[in-house]
Amino acid sequence: MFTTSKLLAENHITGIFSERQGGISPAPFDSLNLGLDLGDSDENVQHNLKQLCLGAQLPIPHRSEQVHGTNYLLCAGEGIQHNHQADILITRTAGCAVAVRTADCLPILLIDTQAGVAAAVHAGWRGTVQNIAQVAIQKMQAFGAKAEHILACLGPCIAEPCFEIDIDTGKQLSHSHPQAHLYIRYKNDKAWANIQAINTLQLQSSGLKSTNIESLSLCTSCLPERFFSYRRNGIQAGRQLAIVALPDAL
Ligand SMILES: [Zn+2]
């Protein structure tokens, strides 16, 4: 049902990325769809979410309305689906979980166990252009986190060979960081970008230690048995969830 962050686990934190097996949703959302308003029933999604959290031993996470922006939502209490537009969900409440939905975009889980601040970030190409990783770190710092203590796990997303974009998108991405151009390839009138690498640069420039950044090499587009992919499945693609929780006792 899910892949676990080894880096977070080593630090006694549960950070997971759901996969598409083990749920009850019918095709084309088979089977662990966690996205609402796609055509799958709300009951299926609720059931899938409960089973996932049970399996991962996580509380039901807070979720937001994701809009490819850089707004954040500070979450506490019982996890719900908020009617609030935000692509960064932060918690500083013990026992509270936050999550983002993706289907090719990059999910980033962040935590400072010493300060007790965790975040889930939805970084697509638009978020990457807006430096969402750096914005998330700044927000965490505003809540007491220290960059040198923050652990990051970059989850499954569409990998560079599959992430064909237009030249203008490539140029926008290349302006997001001084070294971003190293991870954008151009050929004829097309470009390809490694958004995981570009977000890693942004996190490093925010002060995160390289040893505190884990990147899972799992391409959502190349692994149809394991992940939903918007590029592969279009508007009927299901959604996976990336979740991180602050433990009950730190
Ligand atoms: Zn791929």
Distance 77 CA to ligand 1 centre (A): 37
Low pLDDT (below 50) residues in the chain: none
Distance 159 CA to ligand 1 centre (A): 5
Residues, CB-to-ion distance under 5 Å, ligand 1? 159, 162, 219, 221-222
Domain membership of residue 29 (yes or no) is yes
pLDDT of residue 105: 98
Domain membership of residue 87 (yes or no) is yes
Distance 30 CA to ligand 1 centre (A): 20
Please state the pTM of the whole predicted model: 0.98
Tell me the pLDDT of the chain averaged across its residues.
Answer: 97
Domain membership of residue 115 (yes or no) is yes
Q: What residue has token string 């399996």?
A: 55
pLDDT of residue 250: 58
Distance 129 CA to ligand 1 centre (A): 21
Domain membership of residue 193 (yes or no) is no
Q: Strand pairing of 88-91 and 72-75?
A: parallel
For residue 234 the two structure tokens come to 């279009």
Looking at the DSSP bridge assignments, the partners of residue 118 are 91, 111
Domain membership of residue 31 (yes or no) is yes
Domain membership of residue 231 (yes or no) is yes
Cis omega (within 30 of 0) for bond into 31: yes
Domain count, the chain: 1
Distance 138 CA to ligand 1 centre (A): 31
Distance 164 CA to ligand 1 centre (A): 10
Domain membership of residue 174 (yes or no) is no
Domain membership of residue 132 (yes or no) is yes
What's the domain range around 16? Answer: 2-158+215-245
Question: Any idea what the CATH number is for the domain that residue 107 is in?
Answer: 3.60.140.10
